[in-house]
Amino acid sequence: MTGEAKLKIDSNYILGKVEPRVFGTLIEQLGRGVYGGLYDPDSKFSDGDGFRKDVLKLVKELGVTTVRWPGGNFVSGYRWEDGVGPKDERPRRLDLAWHSTETNQFGLHEMESWLKKAGNLELMEALNLGTRGLESALDLLEYANIPNGTKLSEERIANGAKTPFNIRLWCLGNEMDGKWQLGHLDATEYAKKVSKVAAGMRQLDPSLELIGCGSSNHGMETFGKWEDTLLNYAYDSIDLVSCHAYYHADPGELDTFLGSAVDMDRFIGEVISSIDAGKARAKSDHIVNISFDEWNVWYQGSEPSKTPEGIDNWPVAPHLLEDVYSVTDAVVVGDFLITLLKHADRVKAASIAQLVNVIGPIMAPEDGEAYRQTTFYPFAETAKYVKSGLVLKTVAKSPIIMNKKYGETDMVNSVTVKCEDGSLAIIMVNRSIDKSINFEVELSGCEVNNEIVEAKTLHDDDPLAKNTENNPNRVVLKDNNSVLIDTKSNILSINLPNDSWSIINIK
């Protein structure tokens, strides 16, 4: 069954500029995310520094720009000093967040080296505000960013990094509203701590960009009140407020799951309202935006997500959170990207969580070559075209789907971006579990010459189809040959299969 949806685009009206930082990722010392993912000196796939070359190749193809590290929940018990200096002198520690042993063989210097090899990516450094605070933050800042002449900057130089790391973007803790978080704080305690830590860090370097923890998810009982308290105490102290959100499909509920981006959209809108109210109360000219620095599909509670147990069971890099993603998971991930881009005026950073093995778009088997999960494709294609583009305002008309969890949802969600090279990218998702749709786009104000650079769709007759080590190319992007452009009327049409993600790039 085929329906019809329409979109009107005017290239003269701009919603916002896409910040490259929106295509960031999270890497945490969790499971095989680092050890066995990024770093595996014993692997035949690794280079002389122990970094997996096959993973580096796919990371470059994926198009990530920033890396939020070292967490995640892990950071709330992390001592950054453990990860610098001679490797044979680094201590082994128990990681309480994931009930594992941290060897500290991968630390700040290894991360900086990996970032360079991955394409000179930017580090979003996360600070431990769980068991630590201002003193530790200032020590790390001195170690990382001061060129020379102080105790800690000279230690960095002695450890092999003559040039400072110049980290600009800092997360002030992680999910501090969560009772699962080591050193959990209530809203007032956290807000006061942020104010003090931010003030101290800015005494050393006023140009730093600081991110305050917002609610860990949209469903937190304290959501809204948490943001209000943070902004009451620390509005002028921070530059961004973080959002985190994970979604998954319940058995037999793929149709409901396909509407998940509606919740993300509401979440963003409500946080924007809190920020703007905080600005009014503070009578401030300072602008605070959003860093959606954890988002993805994650099957929490499933077997791959179960952490080790037992007082004498603290494994090194166990298999944790290694979800294998389906076509529908990828469609939802693509919908999340559309939603983030539609808020380009306020969402200035974001991180898909995570990158490799641990709920990531890349899987790196221990004895096999790394491969792309289904979720790799919408992220890579979107980043390829719109990383520095301008999001255009549009008027959309779509059939409505009744979603039992999220209410009325548009069958088609889309975003249009004027790319840096002057071309136009239209990104679309069909949320219907069983209906295809004809999507008609009126390109008002655009001169179209009928040259289609690319029109691709991610879809499969089996919505649960997945890529695996034995069949890594089971699900791939395919050309969508249904695209037609009427150059006289400047109208484009495309058929969007049910449960699908698509992208068109036109001159």
Number of Cβ within a 10 Å radius of residue 397: 12
Alpha carbon distance 395, 266 (integer Å): 19
pLDDT at res. 507: 80
More confidently predicted of 273 and 448:
273
> In this structure, are 191 and 326 located in the same domain?
yes
Q: What letters, b where the CB count within 10 A reaches 16 and e where it falls short, cover 363-395? A: bbbeeebbbbbbbbbbbbbbbbbbbebbbbebe
Length of the chain: 507
> In this structure, are 345 and 450 located in the same domain?
no
pLDDT tens digits for 32-63?
Answer: 999 999 999 999 999 999 999 999 999 999 99
Alpha carbon distance 115, 58 (integer Å): 14
Q: With 90 as the cut, is the pLDDT of residue 164 above it?
A: yes
The answer to whether the Cα torsion of 196, 186, 321, 307 is positive or negative is positive
Which of 391, 423, 445 corresponds to the end of one domain? Answer: 391
> In this structure, are 130 and 6 located in the same domain?
no
> In this structure, are 58 and 203 located in the same domain?
yes
Contact call for residues 294 and 244 (beta carbons, < 8 A): yes
Which residues are tagged catalytic? 175, 294
Contact call for residues 430 and 499 (beta carbons, < 8 A): yes
More confidently predicted of 319 and 490:
319
Span 362-390, average pLDDT = 97
Which of 391, 408, 431 corresponds to the end of one domain? Answer: 391
Closest CA to 95 of 87, 84, 106, 86: 106
pLDDT tens digits for 296-349?
Answer: 999 998 887 888 999 999 999 999 999 999 999 999 999 999 999 999 999 999
Which of 341, 356, 391 corresponds to the end of one domain? Answer: 391
pLDDT at res. 493: 94
Alpha carbon distance 474, 64 (integer Å): 24
The answer to whether the Cα torsion of 386, 387, 393, 397 is positive or negative is positive
Q: With 70 as the cut, is the pLDDT of residue 451 above it?
A: no
pLDDT at res. 1: 47
Provide the number of structural domains found in the chain: 2
Kindly report the average pLDDT of the chain as a whole number. 96
pLDDT tens digits for 391-449?
Answer: 999 999 999 999 999 999 999 999 999 999 989 999 999 999 999 999 999 987 666 66
Going by pLDDT thresholds of 50, 70 and 90, the confidence category of residue 450 is low
Enclosing domain of residue 138: 13-391
